[in-house]
Amino acid sequence: DTGVSQNPRHKITKRGQNVTFRCDPISEHNRLYWYRQTLGQGPEFLTYFQNEAQLEKSRLLSDRFSAERPKGSFSTLEIQRTEQGDSAMYLCASSGQQALGETQYFGPGTRLLVL
């Protein structure tokens, strides 16, 4: 059973550029979550998918952010017109639907640095 994978692991970009991150959840997990973690803080919820439906978005997810999960499998998170404040670790997690409060398993994260 492979874990959650994320690509790329590191991304350096210049302010104003667009970036896209990919998350592959554990197979057969139908729930997928995106979080953002800045230095010295705990992860903060960004958005959540159940299958291909995006069910909730945090206020942290500005109009420059968009997430998709087109076939209910992998997901992408795109940031348009990046700003220095977007520099953070972007974490993806997945969980199954067997029970409420199902444990979320996290990927290794994508560390973004905006210059």
Partner 1 sequence: AQKVTQAQTEISVVEKEDVTLDCVYETRDTTYYLFWYKQPPSGELVFLIRRNSFDEQNEISGRYSWNFQKSTSSFNFTITASQVVDSAVYFCALSPSWGKLQFGAGTQVVVTP
- Token pair belonging to 72: 């209910």
- Least Å from the CB of residue 70 to partner 1: 21
One-letter amino acid identity for 2?
A: T
How many helices and strands (H and E) does the chain possess? 0, 11
Other beta carbons less than 10 A from residue 11's beta carbon: 18
DSSP 100: T
Residue (18 or 38) nearer to partner 1, CB: 38
Which residue, 52 or 89, has its beta carbon nearer to partner 1? 89
Q: Which is nearer to partner 1, 18 or 97 (CB)?
A: 97
Residues that bind partner 1 (CB under 8 A): 31, 33, 35, 40-45, 48, 56, 89, 91, 93, 95, 100-109, 111
